[in-house]
Amino acid sequence: MKKRKETLVFVLVVLLLVGGLMLGTFLTKKINSLPELPKPELSEGQRGQLGIDKNVNESTIDKYLGRKDSVYYDIRMLEDPANYEAIDGDRYLSGLVEGFEVVPYPYLVNVEGLPEAVGQSYTGATLYTHADGKYTANYKESKQILNDLFPKDKNIFLMCGGGGYSGMLKNMLVDLGWDTNKIYVVGGYWYYDGEHNVQIKQEDGSYSFWKISYHNIDFSKLTKK
């Protein structure tokens, strides 16, 4: 009887080990089966000037969604003070691509270089100030917040309305030490026509912002430098 129990225990241990090895192999294959990411490459013309990627953009992003080695951010405000309707855009975050979380770029750093027709964006508190070619942290927690939102060991996919904010944020992150080859400026949601659209603006004109995974920055809780 004792010998039978020992045999059963041995068999169970072997099965667990084999099962673990099979699971590990399966997970490894699944990870390795992810579509290979091309290195970031600028588009031609005006889109390239905005920093929009040639290969990973509004037309192809569906192929690269849901990766465990990546983070996805739409960096628009829920309602931007700038008049983006003047350039056929939308000041409201009327929709986004599935899997993208939202962190407002104008909360990260002061907004510069918007088209004259658009006017001025948000001018309140920001984590950083950009002046004279330099990014200066305004709060003791500024760097930690950036590190938490945009981990350096992952690929970072950025979208906004037309592509401008995304390109600006990539420039900022690279200047602060992020790897340029791990950041993709996908472009603008206004030009997205894929299969993973999450509609926020409803037919009655209201906005279902509850659908959004939103990262607010409460500046009243931060420590000024």
pLDDT digits (tens, 9 = 90+) for 37-52: 999 999 999 999 999 9
- Euclidean distance between CA atoms 169 and 84, whole angstroms: 18
- Euclidean distance between CA atoms 192 and 22, whole angstroms: 39
Instruction: Kindly write down the DSSP assignment for every residue of 149-171, as one continuous string.
Output: HS-TTSEEEEEESSSHHHHHHHH
Instruction: Note the Cα 216 to chain centre separation in Å.
Output: 14
- Give pLDDT, residue 35: 72
Q: What strands, in cross-sheet order, belong to the sheet with 155-160?
A: 101-102, 70-74, 155-160, 183-188
Lookup: tokens for 31: 């990870």
Lookup: tokens for 214: 């939103």
- Give pLDDT, residue 4: 57
The model's pTM: 0.84
DSSP bridge pairs for 79 = 92
Q: Identify which of 223, 130, 216 has the alpha carbon closest to the alpha carbon of residue 168.
A: 130
The confidence band for 34, taking pLDDT boundaries of 50, 70 and 90, is confident
Distances 196 to 59, 60, 66, 95, 162 between C-alpha atoms, Å: 12, 12, 11, 10, 18
Q: Is the per-residue pLDDT at 17 higher than 60? A: no
Contact 53, 166 (CB under 8 A): no
Find the range with the poorest average confidence among 24-28, 42-46, 172-176: 24-28
Highest mean pLDDT among 2-6, 10-14, 69-73: 69-73
Residue type at position 142: S
- Give pLDDT, residue 8: 53
